[in-house]
Amino acid sequence: MFALVGLGNPEEKHNQNRHNVGFMVIDKIVEMYNLGPFKNKFQSKIITKKITDIPIVIFKPQTFMNLSGKSVQHVLNFYKLNTENIIVFHDDLDLKLGVIKTKIGGSDGGHNGLKNIDSHIGNNYRRIRIGIGHPGDKNIVNNYVLENFNKEENIIISNLISIISKNIEFVIKNKDISKTLSEINQIN
């Protein structure tokens, strides 16, 4: 079984924020594969299903971004998952808008959601880093990530999310998915 985790903030006012791109990916996967509806469990909106023949638990922690680790830990323990079977989708300020990269382990890169997950389960999980760009001034980062994508950015992000969702089976099945995402970046 694999866990697909989208990071974001739960209130409706945050739905289209840059910081919620992880939630956006999860919502698109649920829509594309007709997995819904979500149930409330483990301080998350959660679904357990299969994508083709692959058992998955797909969820969006509802504890706000910076406290995501507790939900992830609950799911990990309940389903007896190894951290290697967790894939976290999240925004990344250090990547240009629309660029995606994968990573296993390593630093949280200053991302408070990842920092909290690391404090609960360690850092040996897969990450799909989705570039949202940087505003250029670290003093306005907090406001920037809590703003909605503008019209042009939204087109880029929507296309990227669709490509990730269409390729999610390949993403799940491969330990080294950087080649796949490199090809996705070229398409984008």
Enumerate the active-site residues.
19
Distance CA 15, CA 42 (A): 21
Q: Where does the chain show beta strands of DSSP type E?
A: 2-6, 39-41, 44-51, 54-61, 86-92, 100-104, 126-131
Ramachandran category for residue 62: left, alpha or beta (phi over 0 → left; psi -120 to 50 → alpha): alpha
8 A C-beta contact, residue 64 and residue 10: yes
Q: What angle do CA 65, 70, 74 make, to 5 degrees?
A: 130
Distance CA 4, CA 177 (A): 15
- Tell me which residue of 84, 87, 178, 182 sits closest to 127, measured CA to CA: 87
Distance CA 174, CA 181 (A): 11
Distance CA 165, CA 160 (A): 9
